[in-house]
Structure 1
């Protein structure tokens, strides 16, 4: 069994390396920022927890399944929409590199999924509980990390540096405004999660459709009240998810927006019009949740460019940059750094 695990892990590392090489070439012409710079800036801002993820460090594992719908199969030939039960390894998390971040923090929450497709391939989806991202280009994200680095004298970011960042990076405003106007979720189970980027669905005749997806909780969306933000302990999201999964399946509907001419394709900071056609693509069911240490999600590098046939990336610079950055973080994590 250990030999098999080594082969699987080795294959994933090789795949991540190949993807990283291609993506480095793809983004080099658009932005001189490197994965080493971004990962290093994250480490400088949050510190390093050896053997752990550099970003979204605090997280919880879960397992379940996904069943696709024929409505989505009309747009994509992906086995994900075959109607078969697809095993899923999931991870829910808080943004940032602080493993002790309070669950009341006004920061994005993440849901990452690995689907084991019937043909033996994998499909990854990495999402946030916000409809738009805070950077149009990797440079903005790097500058945010640099501006957020704690001042040694106070242990907190310099307010003037944050103010200067916001003034010079208008592409960060939409996400910042959304988080300021919307409290964090009361539970991982009562939050919607957005794919953020635009992707391509490819059907059996090689017809391409631009899409964006989100996962909508059947439990309904519920956010913390202002009073709960003040009174809740630092850790409650993991336990709430474990307890909720223990009472019965937790489900999300995968909703896909069908793009139209003129919709932003390569800018995750811009939302699509709400009037776009919506297709219910399937249902995600989580049947168990557990602490991440030693669980199935812990060793997974949830690279969003790991895709099965029928789904493809666009030229979104942020989407393409995430793969090599994830690969670098993954390599350091495997090395115990």
Structure 2
């Protein structure tokens, strides 16, 4: 365990024109990166948002692409294992943290709403992972390369979707609505500051992926400790993103041909004053961190017939020893992911083969 700043990715600054272009697309970036959220158990109240209505919003804003996830639809399946060093076993009784190896099935993706988006469409990457313990219990987690979320509640997220919804006549958001939303939600300013300097990476394997939401670890004596976690890459960025539509999958396959790719699983232990119920607030200052082990990816496969295709990376599928925090976005994500999963799995038979990337829906 060491004291250091939370392991967030550092990005080189963009030029002024690039910053302006990025800010012009902020509505799209927020929409596609955040994930789907909804109030659960709201189907009997017409004034409350249901999971289905949230998925409807994504389909309205992004179009319907049968058989694909409604968010983060462009991705690639990966597989490997997590090699625990046992350092986190004092914080959690979950078997995944005991010294040893746990198989994983993951998915690296581009957080847009369109499976045909160019890889440079958003300055974000996502990594979802399923750990399967020897006792059969699973830990599923969905992480993003941004360090924090723009807003802290499901209602604020819904309001953001309304503010960034495209006008049917222009295909773009009403230019007056996003500024009005952000003016009314100052909690989004740290996220906007990050977006100003973010840029698309050249590779999945050089990104740091963050849980963003807080979770609670429970040890063998019932002691509880809030944490956030990050996958910190061993690989380092060496070049800017290429000027091409599709490069991330090719880059990953080439790197795996050279050898397995690795990330350290770093747990950031909450201090007493750290909020656990608001993903829009960063944990600042010195924190105790725990290097829990190494996640190793040694193979990939196409998402439409790979092992990750039928996995719903619900962040509340957790083994004994890991629990959700009081963050309201967690239950919201879980509910909306389920709604999206039901729709896309009922459409899989419409996808006879992986379509060419050049093909437009």
Same fold (TM over 0.5): yes
Q: Deviations over 1:241-300 (max 9, x none)?
A: 111111101000001111121111100011112410011011100001222120001111
Correspondence for 2:113 among 97, 115, 123 = 97
Matched residue of 2:40: which SS? helix
Range that drifts further, 189-198 or 238-247: 238-247
Q: Deviations over 1:58-95 (max 9, x none)?
A: 11110000011221001001111112211100101111
**Alpha carbons 1:106, 1:180 under 8 Å: kept:** no
Correspondence for 1:144 among 157, 160, 163 = 160
Alignment of 1:152-301 (within 5 A): 152-220=168-236, 222=237, 225=240, 228=241, 232-301=243-312
**Alpha carbons 2:123, 2:198 under 8 Å: kept:** no
Q: State how far apart, in whole Å, the 1-side matches of 2:50 and 2:304 are.
A: 30
Q: TM-score, normalised by structure 1?
A: 0.86
Shift of 1:174: 2.0
**Alpha carbons 2:110, 2:122 under 8 Å: kept:** no
Correspondence for 1:309 among 303, 311, 320 = 320
Alignment of 1:126-141 (within 5 A): 126-141=142-157
Matched residue of 2:220: which SS? coil
Alignment correspondent of 1:14 = none
Matched residue of 1:197: which SS? coil
Number of corresponding residues? 309
Alignment correspondent of 2:330 = 319
Alignment correspondent of 1:44 = 60
Range that drifts further, 156-165 or 287-296: 156-165
**Alpha carbons 1:61, 1:90 under 8 Å: kept:** yes
Q: State how far apart, in whole Å, the 1-side matches of 2:331 and 2:228 are.
A: 16
Alignment correspondent of 2:346 = 335
Q: State how far apart, in whole Å, the 2-side matches of 1:224 and 1:324 are.
A: 39
Q: State how far apart, in whole Å, the 1-side matches of 2:339 and 2:263 are.
A: 31
- Considering only aligned residues, what root-mean-square deviation do their CA atoms show, in Å? 2.2
Moved over 4 A (4+): none
Q: State how far apart, in whole Å, the 2-side matches of 1:67 and 1:274 are.
A: 29
Q: Which segments of 5 or more consecutive residues in structure 1 lack a partner in the other structure?
A: 1-22
Quickly say closer, same or farther: Cα 1:36–1:150, change in 2 above 3 A: same
Q: TM-score, normalised by structure 2?
A: 0.81
Range that drifts further, 157-166 or 295-304: 157-166
Shift of 1:107: 4.2
